[in-house]
Amino acid sequence: MLTREQNKRFTEVGPGTPMGELLRRYWLPFATVRQLHEHPTRAVTLLGEHLVAFRDRSGRYGLLQEHCPHRNANLLWGIPEPDGLRCPYHGWLFDRAGHCLDQPAEPPDSTFRERIQARSYPVEALGGLLYAWMGPEPRPMVPRWENHVRTDVVREIGWAVLPCNWLQIMENSMDPVHVEHLHSYFSNYVQERLGQIGPDAYLTWRERANVRRHVKIGFDIFEHGIIKRRVLEGRDETHADWRIGHCVVFPFMLLQQHIRVPMDDSHTLYWYYTVHPKLPDQPDQRPEDIPLHEMPLPGLEDGIPTWELLDSNSGQDDFSWMSPGPITPRWNEHLSGTDTGIILFRRLLRDQMRLVAEGRDPMNTFRDPTTNISIHMPGEADDPEWSGEAYRSLLRALTTRADASGELASIAIANFLVTF
């Protein structure tokens, strides 16, 4: 349970807030390469700031303040040029650094443009995502997470704008036991609501669903964040679930797959980043060709939950993130003995905010190229047995599906093949 004041400190992400200052020390993925190939501008909200992303005609990316410094026309309608983005209204041209390169209606000898500076943020592309740097210089490197840089895979990306603060999403990732209930017991109930099983089936849910109870959970801070471990009923600490565990990457990523970028205090841009093994004859995938899909979110229809979207882990997690409201009121919460991961994550956030306040680099600041080549993260999939089994089943799945449709693996199947 936090006070209202503490909750503000953990959830406010705008300029000048302690959490906002911490988050500005991370490269923030705000769009995909594909999005700016399909349309050369895109409205972006990051850490409470409204911005316009663009791709110039030379193929370079920029991120500018939303409104032209001249007379506030919206640059989302801007015209891409070889060296920047031009405002439709009077043709002022801005490069990626926010310099004004041209003011066509001013006299040729005018120096007025030199006194104009648009707010701008550096952009880098990696693994099909576009990242913004909103922090101080000198800026570090974009982290080269293994799945974002390896060349033996094909990728697909899902996205959604979640109408809630980023932290309640991360707290869900620090909470292993919800799997038993939200993703298992509740799944059965969703089937009942959808008419797929009868109203008496609940008598045997726990048995039929073969849910393994958590016997033990544990959390370790490691160099990139927090490793979550669990021992399920009938297993012990030699199982990969405990021995290896899997990672929450500080501050806003789960594994290398789920990225939750704070847009403002009550909206989060969610990237669902999936990789599949590339088949032997499959050509390299260009970043702009990575399949992209918007993920639907469950909600209400006539006051009744839309059960159709709640029969998958994704929809169920969406529920757990959004249903507490835009900013969950932590002064009402009652943390239990299984919420130790959440408490640890908050402590880590507090420590890292303090580091930033002291002018130091927080966790996951990469400044040494030799350690930022392809960052592997331990995961259950590192277990040779698990991995072999998964790989074989993946190949079977890919073969079957390729026969049927030639399409990439569906998200549903890819879900448990995060790393391989």
For its own copies, the closer of residues 258 and 276 by Cβ is: 258
Q: Is 333 in the site for its own copies (CB under 8 A)?
A: yes
Among 140, 185, 312, 366, binds its own copies (CB under 8 A): 185
Binding mask 339-378 for its own copies (x = CB under 8 A): x---------------------------------------
For its own copies, the closer of residues 107 and 359 by Cβ is: 107
Query: CB under 8 A: which stretch of 4-12, 22-30, 37-45, 146-154 binds its own copies?
Result: 37-45
For its own copies, the closer of residues 69 and 378 by Cβ is: 69
For its own copies, the closer of residues 181 and 354 by Cβ is: 181
For its own copies, the closer of residues 116 and 413 by Cβ is: 116
- Give the per-residue SS3 of the chain: CCCHHHHHHHHCCCCCCHHHHHHCCCCEEEEEHHHHHHCCEEEEEECCEEEEEEECCCCCEEEEECECCCCCCEHHHCEEECCEEECCCCCCEECCCCEEEECCCCCCCCCHHHHCECCECCEEEECCEEEECCCCCCCCCCCCEHHHHCCCEEEEEEEEEECCCHHHHHHHHCCCCHHHHHHHHHHHHHHHHCCCCCCCHHHHHHHHCCCCCEEEEEEEEECCEEEEEEEECCCCCCCHHHHCCEEEECCCEECCCEEEEEEECCEEEEEEEEEEECCCCCCCCCHHHCCEEECCCCCEECCEECHHHHCCHHHHHHHHHHCCCCCCCHHHCCCCCCCHHHHHHHHHHHHHHHHHHCCCCCCCCCCCHHHCCCECCCCHHHCHHHHHHHHHHHHHHHHHHHHHCCCCCCHHHHCCCCCC
Q: Is 218 in the site for its own copies (CB under 8 A)?
A: no
Q: Which residues pair with 129 in a beta bridge?
A: 32, 126
Window 282 to 311, contacts with its own copies (CB under 8 A): 300, 303-305, 310
Q: Is 106 in the site for its own copies (CB under 8 A)?
A: yes
Among 14, 15, 181, 233, binds its own copies (CB under 8 A): 181
**Nearest distance, CB of residue 200 and its own copies, angstroms:** 9
**Nearest distance, CB of residue 119 and its own copies, angstroms:** 10
**Nearest distance, CB of residue 193 and its own copies, angstroms:** 8
Q: Is 182 in the site for its own copies (CB under 8 A)?
A: yes
Q: Is 77 in the site for its own copies (CB under 8 A)?
A: yes
Task: For the chain, state the CA radius of gyration.
Answer: 23
Window 51 to 70, contacts with its own copies (CB under 8 A): 57, 67, 69-70
Q: Report which residue type is found at 94.
A: F
Among 76, 170, 275, 390, binds its own copies (CB under 8 A): 76
Q: Is 393 in the site for its own copies (CB under 8 A)?
A: no
Residue pair 34/271 in contact (Cβ under 8 Å)? The answer is no
The CA–CA distances, whole Å, from 152 to 148, 277, 333 equal 11, 6, 44
Query: CB under 8 A: which stretch of 108-116, 135-143, 228-236, 375-383 binds its own copies?
Result: 108-116
For its own copies, the closer of residues 81 and 156 by Cβ is: 81
List, in order, residues 6 or more apart from 80 with CB less than 8 Å away: 40, 41, 54, 55, 56, 57, 86
Among 3, 4, 15, 105, binds its own copies (CB under 8 A): 105
Q: Is 91 in the site for its own copies (CB under 8 A)?
A: yes
Q: Is 160 in the site for its own copies (CB under 8 A)?
A: no
**Nearest distance, CB of residue 256 and its own copies, angstroms:** 25
For its own copies, the closer of residues 79 and 160 by Cβ is: 79
Among 49, 56, 95, 180, binds its own copies (CB under 8 A): 180
> How many residues at the interface with its own copies, by CB under 8 A?
65
Residue pair 250/366 in contact (Cβ under 8 Å)? The answer is no
Q: Is 328 in the site for its own copies (CB under 8 A)?
A: yes
In this structure, what is the dihedral angle of CA atoms 122, 45, 114, 102, given to the nearest 10 degrees?
A: 100
For its own copies, the closer of residues 15 and 104 by Cβ is: 104
Total residue length of the chain? 420
The footprint of its own copies (CB under 8 A) covers 39, 42-43, 57, 67, 69-74, 76-77, 79, 81, 86-91, 103-107, 110, 112, 115-116, 171, 175, 177-178, 180-182, 185-186, 189, 202, 213-214, 300, 303-305, 310, 316, 319-320, 323-325, 328-330, 332-339
